[in-house]
Amino acid sequence: MTTSAPPQQITQSAPASKAGGLLIIDRFVGKLVVGATLGAAGWFLGILLIAIVITGLQKLVTNALSPGEMLIFVALQLPRMIVFALPMATLFGSVQAFAALSRQGEAVALGAAGVSLVRMIRAPLIWAAILTLVSFGLSELLVPPLERSKDSILVSHLTASVGKGGFRYQDPGADEDLPLQTLVQAKSFDFEKRTLNQPRVQIFDDDQKLKLQIVAQSAQWTGKNWMLNNGVLTRFPPPRNGELSMPEASEFPTLSIELPAPEFLNRSANSLSTRLARGDFLMISLPEVFAYRRTIAAQLPLATTDAERARTEKLVKSATFGIHEKIAAPLICFAFALVGLPLGLHSPRSGGGALGLSFVVLVVYYVILTWCSTLGRPGAVNPVAMAYTPLVLISAIGCGLVWLRNR
């Protein structure tokens, strides 16, 4: 007669039973966090959608978009809105879910059963890692091409509407109650070539008197200034000793003149090269930013002056910051989960205090992000360090909160 089999069976089934219980806990806590996060994402997306719709209505009026095109204009921005909403939804969803566990006493029960906070947050952190991958995938694969598709809607309308018949542009605009400084008129405007046909440029002084007039055969917008071809420049000097001065005219084959860019050109100037030049890297894919940095870095040995070299180095540092900013941005979902989960347990009876603290965390993050961008983008401080500083600080706060709650 032996009695060893039953104890052996018990010792083998106990770990399996414990593992099964932990899996049940993971599913329960994970389901709670997933539901709360998706709910928070819905709220944030709703708020962002209202803002986008208002912008779309403005575009509908200013660019004569049809209602169908306005809906497409809004829909193309949904991935960008999701990328923007996911970090906030992760933070508030984590807080809400664990505040509910605390209010219902389930967090205390899990702790009494020997489940530590570190073990309790495993499933939510896996969910946060999934959201991080989703955010990175959207920002790399969907946001850049869809942003350009959105811009192409405006460009197509501008191509069809601008330049038909006479062309007129003035600065300040006609709707601004300010003295006229510049008036540009032309027979027509070729939007694709950005060329004015038979332009007339008039510049006025503070007394609204004509001081300079340029009449040319054509003028092309280079992105920074106007290049006029085959024309006459006429200056109108102010009166001398109470007598009118004769205009001074001179012919020119080409003339570059710096004038404010027409507003419609600025609105449609969202091409890849334009976004790269102004440092709008979040709307560009990482391979494109890498290629841009290589192109700029190749110009460093060709710099002939210290000023030119400093300007090129600044562009390289800006691109470096943009690369690491794009890597760090999705990872903030994981960092916010680290902060939100222990914050949800902050108040055993109400999640209001924890939600208030999560707002503080959100504000602190964006303040630090803005400060680091101001220093890192122009290369004043190490761009790599500045790109990851907000992520590291929020992650450190989250780890500290988990450690304090787990003691």
- Quick check: 267 pLDDT over 90? no
Compute the average pLDDT of residues 3-30. 62
Would you state the pLDDT for residue 4?
Answer: 47
All domains of the chain, ordered by start, with CATH?
A: 21-160+321-406 (no CATH), 167-264 (2.60.450)
Question: What is the model's pLDDT at position 12?
Answer: 45
Backbone angles phi, psi at 183, to 5 degrees: -130, 125
The pLDDT value given to residue 269: 46
Residue percentage of the chain with pLDDT more than 70: 80
Check residues 135 and 406 and name the one with the higher pLDDT.
Answer: 135
Asked if the model's pLDDT at residue 303 lies above 90, the reply is: no
Phi, psi of 240 (to 5 degrees): -120, 125
Contacts of residues 132-139 at CB distance under 8 Å and 24 or more positions apart, as own/partner, are 132/330, 132/331, 132/333, 132/334, 133/330, 134/86, 135/82, 135/83, 135/86, 135/87, 135/329, 135/330, 135/333, 136/330, 138/79, 138/82, 138/83, 139/83, 139/282, 139/326, 139/329, 139/330
Question: Over 70: is that where the pLDDT of 369 sits?
Answer: yes
Whether residue 315 has pLDDT greater than 60: yes
| Whether residue 16 has pLDDT greater than 80 | no
Quick check: 210 and 202 in contact, CB under 8 A? yes
Residue 135 scores a pLDDT above 90: yes
Whether the per-residue pLDDT at 407 is higher than 50: the answer is yes
CB 228 within 8 A of CB 188: no
**Residue 271 pLDDT:** 58
The answer, yes or no, to whether residue 245 has pLDDT greater than 80, is no
The 10 Å CB-count burial string (b at 16+, else e) for 257-267 is eebebbebbeb
pLDDT of 166 over the 50 cut: yes
- Identify the band that residue 137 occupies on the pLDDT scale cut at 50, 70 and 90: very high
**What is the C-alpha to C-alpha distance for residues 54 and 63, in angstroms, rounded to an integer?**
14
Nearest Cα residue to 83 out of 130, 137, 30: 137
Contacts of 317 (CB under 8 A, 6+ apart): 376, 378, 379, 383
183 — pLDDT class (breaks 50, 70, 90) = confident
Residue 241 has pLDDT above 70, yes or no: yes
Nearest to 91 by CA among 340, 365, 343: 340
Spatial neighbors of 54 by CB under 8 A, at least 6 apart, are none
CB of 351 closer than 8 Å to CB of 106: no
Quick one: the chain helix, strand, coil %, rounded to 5? 65, 15, 20
Kindly state the tokens that stand for 54. Answer: 């208002």
Q: How far apart are CA 155 and CA 159, in angstroms?
A: 6
Mean pLDDT within 110-123: 84
In this prediction, residues 39-60 reach a mean pLDDT of: 84
Q: How far apart are CA 53 and CA 399, in angstroms?
A: 39
Rounded percentage of the chain residues whose pLDDT exceeds 90 = 32
Q: Give the phi and the psi of residue 200 in degrees, each rounded to 5.
A: -130, 115
Average pLDDT over residues 234-256: 84
Q: Which residue has the higher pLDDT, 292 or 59?
A: 292
Give the separation between CA 364 and CA 394, rounded to whole angstroms.
9
DSSP state at residue 349: S
Average pLDDT over residues 80-109: 89
Confidence of residue 221 (pLDDT cuts 50, 70, 90): confident
pLDDT value at residue 2:
47
Q: Average model confidence (pLDDT) for the chain?
A: 81
pLDDT at 406 over 50: yes
Q: How far apart are CA 21 and CA 12, in angstroms?
A: 15
Given a contact cutoff of 8 angstroms between Cβ atoms, the answer to whether 62 and 310 are in contact is no
**Confidence category of residue 141, pLDDT binned at 50, 70, 90:** very high
CA 342 from centre of chain: 29
Q: Which residue has the higher pLDDT, 155 or 359?
A: 359
**Is a pLDDT exceeding 90 seen at residue 326?**
yes
d(CA 50, CA 42): 12
Mean predicted confidence (pLDDT) in 109-127: 86
CA angle 202, 207, 209 (to 5 degrees): 35
**∠ at Cα 143 (137, 144), nearest 5°?**
110
